Structure 1
């Protein structure tokens, strides 16, 4: 997984940049946690302690993280409530599509841990 960490000195803000297909993960990390090192420690501790067949979920304010057998899915909470929802016929005919990469991302648990630990280290500097 490719990522870039940035610090805007003018605004004194940290920014995480991920590939577009990982936009939901980027929003999850930036929106669900404060921009300080300590806020990520409980997440890192839980993910590090997981066994290979353990399932777990973190329900955030806007995005949630779901772990199933070492695979991670980050999705906007609206997807959790509408996964089995079908568009009304008139909307389906209009050929409307959700920009799903903004709402959902997937990655491996090991990749996520490396990213979050690196991000946490960057925030500490």
Structure 2
């Protein structure tokens, strides 16, 4: 238990829970608060906590994926003057090999 409470993930998760409780006090209530400071039954509190945990995990996954995709796009844009030009029209890139008669070792963005 002590190792779990001191982990960075748990501390981050608690901060997210506190933020959601401040933004939506009637919707998101931490498990400890539901069990000790309310009249919600323990079984109902655990069910509600599992729902809240699932929503938080899906939200974190969504924002993490969004950040990863955005940073990948910005990385590709910084490498080329025309961002993702060859990914938008792959048939033009493939037909350029047929026109020259040889395969170029040059990357599409250089």
- What is the TM-score with the length of structure 2 in the denominator? 0.25
Q: Kindly indicate which of the two structures has a greater share of residues assigned to strand.
A: 1
Could you say which structure has the larger radius of gyration? 2
- The higher-RCO structure (CA 8 Å, 6+ apart) is 1
- What is the TM-score with the length of structure 1 in the denominator? 0.23
Q: Kindly indicate which of the two structures has a greater share of residues assigned to helix.
A: 2
